[in-house]
Chains A and B, each alone.
Chain A
């Protein structure tokens, strides 16, 4: 059967045993389904609003944390935010196009970082750290994007009295309650209970070897220069994706007095959006050419 684990190669101490395509799909699908289900539950859990302070569970963060700390963090992180989009946003009809891309990248980055932090899922300290990190990274990125939208992007921010302060305050309060409720109460603490209990039980069900602390994932080992760079790029892309709507908004005002009106700082957003679009285009074209060639090769076969 395709998913039976290969015998562990003891000579290769660089990293955990590689996954085959079936196992990758399993981890991806499992993480997607469970986080999707958790998100539907989140829709049901009641929220309490005290004035502008909202006390609610934004997501059950322990599900992706457990998945990413037990399995390969990359595939768990790729699956979890997709589950949110497929199960909740498409089904409930609040699919928001580009905004989903932003949310996907933020969540992916957060879960991946969280999963890489855990070397041994039996150690509760690491799980606590991972749980809090997931929510902090995700919420911080989205808060920065939201504040940035007001500071830089939205054309009327400066002229609308009271808007910047109010958004800054709301973001700050929201961030704090999110870290406490989603991060600690529904992220770190349940993960600390569940992950050690599942460790060694759930992996054999997928035909995988439990995570071995002596053989961590290479990214966690290597101090992560390249990984930090990737994280920065992804964070940036998600930010620009969020700004794109503002850039669309401002097509109507590309006039000579534009720079006087908005200042130089708006330009770098436009420029970086252009660079990202260009890079994406180049990659897409190369990908299309490559897949055409491959397809042609397959047809010949």
Chain B
């Protein structure tokens, strides 16, 4: 980055981070990195995720939880989750644990408090890792087809695929509108005490930018929905023949079975390990 840009970086942090989040989201939504779960049948990927979303809540044993955490961490590495999403997770994870630990310490807890909180944090982190691995591997079309195959309401399936498709355009448009506001507005005379003028300006720009955005999105939504309805969207989503045609490409092969079997074996392995080396959270 040229030095001039770097010098301006501090001033333009909010725009830069909008840009940054935009790129990061696009990378996540249209994952082309490949990986372990990306080539599997989406229904099985969702099943895989559900296993790890539910199992951690059945145990109090730190060994089991650590094992599950490790399995999910390996899955995240194998699914090639992007470094920025992962960094965000680690950052939030560390910050949250520090914060909770501080709160418990501040109000006079001891080691058992810490252990109880570690248990909870491990559970949440495991679920979070699993969801990262699963949803990074699914592109919007696959996800919405899988949801439809699992009998989710057609509106939800549609919302997922529409949302992911529209997102880049909306972000772009929002950015343009905000830039327009910045160009037309006079620069602030001074940041004020603690930069309150900057805060007020940022807040009011964000709010004002939603006015044209709402109108434009309304127009665009009508176009999309009318085009869809012309093709019989609502009818096709409910009619069994339409469903069958749309979901015909979902085919499970033996690798999907292997994935689920291996997952169940690993989870069972974690619980066996917990039996052998129990490390229950003793409270009281």
- How far does the alpha carbon of A128 sit from the alpha carbon of B143 in the complex, in Å? 39
**In residues 20-59 of chain A, which contact B (Cβ within 8 Å)?**
21-22, 25-26, 28-30, 32-34, 36-38, 40-41, 43-46, 52
**In residues 190-237 of chain B, which contact A (Cβ within 8 Å)?**
203, 206-207, 210-211, 213-215, 217-219, 221-222, 224-226, 228-230, 233-234
A3 engages B110 (CB within 8 Å) = no
B88 engages A92 (CB within 8 Å) = yes
Chain B residues contacting A209 (CB-CB under 8 Å) are none
B162 engages A93 (CB within 8 Å) = no
B215 engages A202 (CB within 8 Å) = yes
Determine if B167 is an interface residue (Cβ-Cβ < 8 Å). Answer: yes
Closest to A301 in B: B239
A95 engages B135 (CB within 8 Å) = yes
Determine if B97 is an interface residue (Cβ-Cβ < 8 Å). Answer: no
B229 engages A22 (CB within 8 Å) = yes
- Cβ of B55 to closest chain A Cβ, rounded Å: 10
- How far does the alpha carbon of A299 sit from the alpha carbon of B203 in the complex, in Å? 55
- Cβ of B131 to closest chain A Cβ, rounded Å: 4
Chain A residues contacting B2 (CB-CB under 8 Å) are none
Determine if B53 is an interface residue (Cβ-Cβ < 8 Å). Answer: yes
- How far does the alpha carbon of A197 sit from the alpha carbon of B214 in the complex, in Å? 11
A206 engages B203 (CB within 8 Å) = no
- How far does the alpha carbon of A82 sit from the alpha carbon of B161 in the complex, in Å? 12
- Cβ of B237 to closest chain A Cβ, rounded Å: 10
A202 engages B112 (CB within 8 Å) = no
With known contacts A2-B226, A36-B163, A159–B112 Cβ distance under 8 A = yes
A205 engages B116 (CB within 8 Å) = no
Closest to B167 in A: A87
Q: Which of B34-42, B100-108, B245-253, B265-273 contacts its partner?
A: B100-108
Q: Which of A118-126, A162-170, A213-221 contacts its partner?
A: A162-170
A156 engages B112 (CB within 8 Å) = yes
Chain B contact patch, size range: 35 or more
**In residues 40-68 of chain B, which contact A (Cβ within 8 Å)?**
50, 53-54, 57-60
- How far does the alpha carbon of A22 sit from the alpha carbon of B232 in the complex, in Å? 10
A87 engages B221 (CB within 8 Å) = no
Determine if A62 is an interface residue (Cβ-Cβ < 8 Å). Answer: yes
Chain B residues contacting A201 (CB-CB under 8 Å) are 215
Give which listed residue, B25, B109, B160, B229, contacts A163 with CB less than 8 A.
B109
Interface residues of chain B: helix, strand, loop or mixed (majority):
helix
B103 engages A156 (CB within 8 Å) = no
With known contacts A87-B163, A161-B113, A206–B222 Cβ distance under 8 A = yes
Give which listed residue, A34, A86, A194, contacts B217 with CB less than 8 A.
A34
Chain A residues contacting B233 (CB-CB under 8 Å) are 25
- Cβ of A40 to closest chain B Cβ, rounded Å: 7
Closest to B124 in A: A96
Determine if B262 is an interface residue (Cβ-Cβ < 8 Å). Answer: no
- Cβ of B65 to closest chain A Cβ, rounded Å: 12
A91 engages B109 (CB within 8 Å) = no
Determine if B159 is an interface residue (Cβ-Cβ < 8 Å). Answer: yes
B106 engages A33 (CB within 8 Å) = no
- How far does the alpha carbon of A245 sit from the alpha carbon of B170 in the complex, in Å? 36
**In residues 172-225 of chain A, which contact B (Cβ within 8 Å)?**
185-186, 190, 193-194, 197-198, 201-202, 205-207
- Cβ of B183 to closest chain A Cβ, rounded Å: 19
B163 engages A245 (CB within 8 Å) = no
Give which listed residue, A29, A37, A197, contacts B159 with CB less than 8 A.
A29
B215 engages A198 (CB within 8 Å) = yes
A252 engages B60 (CB within 8 Å) = yes
- How far does the alpha carbon of A252 sit from the alpha carbon of B64 in the complex, in Å? 14
A33 engages B60 (CB within 8 Å) = no
Determine if B122 is an interface residue (Cβ-Cβ < 8 Å). Answer: no
With known contacts A2-B229, A30-B217, A93-B132, A160–B127 Cβ distance under 8 A = no
- How far does the alpha carbon of A249 sit from the alpha carbon of B18 in the complex, in Å? 40
Chain B residues contacting A79 (CB-CB under 8 Å) are 159
5 additional contacts (CB under 8 A) given A22-B225, A95-B135, A202-B214: A2-B226, A25-B229, A29-B224, A34-B217, A52-B103
What are 24 residue pairs bridging A and B, where the CB atoms are less than 8 Å apart in the complex?
A: A3-B229, A29-B159, A30-B217, A32-B159, A33-B163, A36-B163, A43-B21, A44-B17, A45-B206, A63-B210, A86-B164, A90-B135, A96-B124, A96-B127, A96-B128, A96-B131, A97-B53, A165-B107, A166-B104, A248-B58, A249-B57, A249-B60, A252-B60, A295-B240
Q: Across the A-B interface, give the 10 residue pairs with the lowest CB-CB distance, nearest first.
A: A162-B107, A93-B132, A248-B57, A156-B283, A190-B207, A159-B284, A166-B107, A205-B218, A97-B53, A95-B131
